[in-house]
Every structure is written in C-alpha cells, then in structure tokens.
Amino acid sequence: MRNIKWLAGILIGLALIAVFAFARGPASIKQTKADFKDSGATYAKLCADCHGADLGGGLGSNLVDGVWEISKTTPEIEKIIADGNDEAGMPAFSDQLSSGQIKNLVQFIHQQKPVQTIKAVVNVDSIEGGVVKSEVWVDGLDAPWGLVFIGPNRALITEKPGQLRQVVDGKLLPEPITGTPEVFSGGQGGLLDVAIDPDYAENSWIYLVYSHPLEPGSDKSMTKLIRGKIVENKWVQEQVLFAAKPEHYIKSRAHFGSRITFDDKGHLFFGVGDRGRQDVAQDLTRPYGKIFRLKRDGRIPKDNPFLGYSKAYPATFSYGNRNPQGLVWSDGVLWETEHGPKGGDELNVITPGTNYGWPVISYGRNYSGSELTPYTHMDGMEQPVSQWTPSIAVSGLDVVTGDMFKDWNGYLLAGALKFKELRLIKVDGSKYISEQILIKDKGRVRDVGMGPDGAIYVTLNSPGQILRLTPNNKKEDK
C-alpha cells in the first residue's frame, strides 16, 4: 500500500513539475529536471506522503518548524533516515538511498523555509443597518452584469443576455442601445463588463467585454474586448482590441471572466477565466486563466512581461488565474478577485509576469469534495493576499472614494454572489487588514461601484436591481 502511495506521489509530482516548468519557460525547465534528479525528487517520492508536500507535516512531523523531537543533529537525522524508527513509524531507507543521497536529502530539508499559509476569512462581523441605508435605484433588469456612470445623471448597464441599457435621471430607458455585437449567452457567458475611457469627456470611448461566438449562432465562444461610441442610442465606431485566435474558441459555457480597469499610465486591464479547462491556465500559448494588459487603443505595451515568448499571447500580464471576477486599480495596486472551486476564492494583488498557481496550487477542493491538489504553495507561484473558504462566490470589486464615505476612502468593496453580500475590506497599501459585511440578503451581488454623487451602487443579477447605498444618518460618528 505504501509503495502505491509513493508511486501516486511520483506521478502527481511529475505532472505538476511538467506544468510548472512549461509555464516558467526554457530556463526553469532545466533547473526543474535537475531538481527532480536529486533531493527534491527524492523527498517527493519517499517523504511527502507522510511529512507533507510542503514539509509542513501530515502523518509525520513538520520538518520546517525548527522542532526536531527525535533526531536533532544532522548525523542523527541522517541515521534515522537510513535506519528508520519503529516507535515513530519511520521506515528505513538505506536499501533505497545511498549515504550521499541521504546527506543531500537532509541538506535539502534544512534549506526549506516554513510555509506561511493564508488563513481563510471566516466569522465576519456585519455592520448592516447601523452604517448604511439602501434603496432600489433601478428595477426590472434582466440579469445585470456591469454598471458605469457616463455623466452625473446618466449610466450604462449591461444585461447578460446581450442588451446595453441606459439610465437617465434614475430611470431606465425602455429601449436598449442598438447595434451592439451578438453575444454567446449561455452558462456564464453573455454581455459582461462595461467601462468608459479615463478621458471619456474628450473622446467618448466606451469599452465592452463579452463572450463572442466564433460565428453567428456558434456554440464555440471566447471572451472578447471591444470599444465604441454611442450616438443617438446606437453603438457605432466599434474597434476590436482583443480577440482570441479562432482555434482557441471552445464549446465551454464556463469561466469567461471578466472586468475592465485602467491604471494611471494609459493601460487597460481585463481578465479571462480558464474556461473550465483548468490545466491550460498554466499554458502561456493559450488565452485562458490570464490577466491581460493593453494600451487603451489595443496596442501591446512594450514592457509586457511575455513578449519574448514567441507563441505566448503578447497581452498576457499574469497567469494561473482561475476565473477573475473583480479588477480595480487603486493607488498603484492592481487588485483582483477570482472564484476558487469548492473553497479558495481569492483576493490577489496582480503584478507583471506572476504565476498565481491555478490549478497546481489552491486552497480549494473539487466540487465533489475530493482533493484537487495537495499543494497550497509552490516555489515561483504567488499566494493570494486573502482567501475565502468556504467560497463566498466573490464578484465585482471597487475602491471607496469621495466625501460621502470619506472614513472608508481606499477601502475595497467586494461583492459575493453565493453569500448575497457586499463586503467592505480594509487594506494598507497591498496588504489585507480586515473586512466587514456591509449589506446582506438583498440579492446576488454581481457588481459594485462608486457613483459620481459619492453613493455606492450595487448590481444584483437576481432580482435584477441596482441598489443605492448612502450613509445612515442615525449612525453614530466614529
């Protein structure tokens, strides 16, 4: 039985190393192969089953916490590996490893650092009622997905089935914008986010991201980014900024992403999910499971991190992102929320060229409850800033600005579909501090954003409403 477990460990390790090596490029493939030849591979083969893939312990003791209960010195540790210890349930490995291999293995163990796991956010306090009051601002929408204000009294709303709607003076206009592109509306696909150019007052550009069918009526689709203008209730002057290669359109109805945000240097960011084909999130030649960065006119920035990879999508900014659902730039930090599987929803700080690990590492499990991966950490893969287990089905993301909620300026606002919540997250620079529940059980929160009046606007895809949050004048000043 133990040999079977060892064999399973080897196969898992080989698969994960192969995926990781490919994503890191040719230079690290050589290093990974070298590691696998010696002590790293030896540990994965013979030790990880008991002492944990990250050396953090399991059936056996933690090997990186500095506490050695039985053998303390290097010669003592080498001896127990060679001879075993019946009382501790430690088998002997002298028949499988030479003395030199054992010495290298001990050196490998001593060189490893303790793993600092990211604890799940649980038992969050609610401040609903005492701090904010909510009112229905717009009703009667069909699965609203994104909201953006284009003036003090005018807003655009995307409806997932494919309509782009206008709200003027708090009233939903009966006729949608005409001339918008056909969308693939199925599963999680449809008309997704809407955003306006930072210089909208001068150029009138409006950005849309949606699930685009390969051909009219096709069930093959892919996330696409366009921009255009609205003239007399018509969508005009459309420009394609990002489209996947035709061979990368697939039949999956899952994990399209996607949100749009802008930095202060002329860049646009948006995300695409893994489309339910998790392993390809590590493949730089495929567009799935990525955050992309473009110029606002669709040009590729010259300092994008993967321009040197001939087959990579040149717009790729980060990879290993399961299904990005929120994206916002704030004070030099690109914040992202993404869906995990069963557990492991993440709050990330996105940085260029970074691998966020999906599906090699995760705090979640398969939807069946079975183990997805034994790894929550791996060298070269970034940890989330925070994570939610169980999953809250994290959604849209924005940052608090303005005078109406001035005590919260710089805090993040994050929606939760499954938990039907809006959460207020305190951060410091790029560090997570804490969070509170701002509203609960109003509906499935799909998006959140600040309005030009300073109020918080919350998009509920069910029951198809937009809520407006303002301070509760009855609350005590803090």
Half-sphere exposure of 331 (CA within 13 A, CB side): 13
- Read off the tokens for 170: 């708090």
Q: Would you state the structure tokens that stand for residue 50, as one six-digit string?
A: 């008991």
Per annotation, catalytic residue among 51, 110, 212, 255:
255
Please tell me whether the peptide bond between 390 and the residue prior to it is cis, using omega within 30 degrees of 0: yes
Secondary structure E strands in 11-130: none
- Annotation says 255 is catalytic: yes
55-92 burial string, b = 16+ CB within 10 Å, else e?
bbeeebbbbbeeeeeebeeeeebbebbbeeeeeeebee
- β-bridge mates for residue 157, sequence order: 147, 165
* Measured CA angle at 196 (ends 194, 198), to 5 deg: 145
The rounded Cα 185 to chain-centroid distance in angstroms is 22
Q: Contact at 8 Å (CB) between 338 and 419?
A: no
Residues 6+ apart with CB under 8 A from 422: 413, 414, 415, 416, 437, 438, 439, 440, 445, 448, 456, 458, 469
Residue 44 φ/ψ, nearest 5 degrees: -60, -35
* Distance (Å, whole) CA 355 – CA 268: 20
Reduced to 3 states, what is the DSSP secondary structure of residue 331? coil
CB atoms within 10 A of CB 8: 11
What is the C-alpha separation between 221 and 219, in angstroms, rounded?
Answer: 6
CA distance 353 to 304: 8
**Distance (Å, whole) CA 127 – CA 408:** 13
Which residues fall within 8 angstroms of residue 70, CB to CB, at 6 or more apart? 76, 80, 85, 88
- Residue 149 CA to residue 449 CA, distance in Å, equals 9
Q: Which residues are catalytic?
A: 255
